[in-house]
Amino acid sequence: MFKKAIYTTVLAVALSLSGCGTQGTGLLGNVLGGDNGSSSGGGLGGILGGVLGSVVNANTAGGLLDMVIGHIKLNQSDLVGTWVYSGPGCAFTSENLLAKAGGSVAATKVKESLNSIYNSLGIANNNTYFVFAQNGQFEAKLRGIPLSGTYTFDSDDSKINLKTMLFTIPAYVTRTTNGLAITMESKKLLSVLQTITSLTGNNTLKTIGDLSKNFDGVRMGFDVVRYQ
């Protein structure tokens, strides 16, 4: 069904931002380091023109299915550990929407756009991470902004809820080649980035809003790899 279809086609709440921070503390400790990595993002304007309706080679269909939320079942034990940001994340809510959007072409375009945004905002592997404990506690930093609280994971729909004293961040977890992707609705991601950067009218962030209008069923966020 999926191959046939291929051929035919953190945070909208009141956070107190007293500082951006740099290194991880708490469960992770001062162990993260390195630079921001190189930017591979393309231009932010007109990225959607060649995406919708693009066709993906059927030989890649199996790998693309891993980008569909819920395709690979995960348990809470698969999340336990320290996960460090490695790049923009992308997932789809169904096979049909993945095919309609253009599969790997759409994913590449979305990630390129997000990469430019993340680099411009200073999101890097030394200031963005997630730590999930077996007992349901979590700690994280997003661009150096600390978060902590509890989390619940529903393996049936691959949904994770990160709960703090003030807010809850609903997200989804999918398996990637090198680790995990923690993604969310684009409007929620926009709220997260606006909150951690104290920006509301930034043209860079506006790109995420544009993606949200043109990619129904796509979830965007962060690829993470296990910290060794």
CA distance 92 to 105: 13
Burial string for 186-206 (b: 16+ CB within 10 Å, else e) reads bebbbbbbbbbbeeeeeebbe
Mean pLDDT over each residue of the chain, to the nearest integer: 73
Q: What is the pLDDT of residues 159-194, one digit of tens each?
A: 999 998 888 899 999 999 899 999 998 878 888 887
**Is residue 18 in some structural domain?**
no
Name residues whose C-beta falls within 8 Å of residue 109's C-beta, 6 or more positions apart in sequence. Answer: 47, 48, 50, 51
In this structure, what token pair is assigned to residue 28? 């992770």
- 220 near 88, Cβ under 8 Å? yes
Total structural domains in the chain?
A: 1
Domain of 113? Answer: 2-13+23-226
Q: Which tens digit of pLDDT belongs to each residue from 73-96?
A: 999 999 999 999 999 998 888 777
What integer pLDDT is reported at residue 195 of this predicted model?
Answer: 75
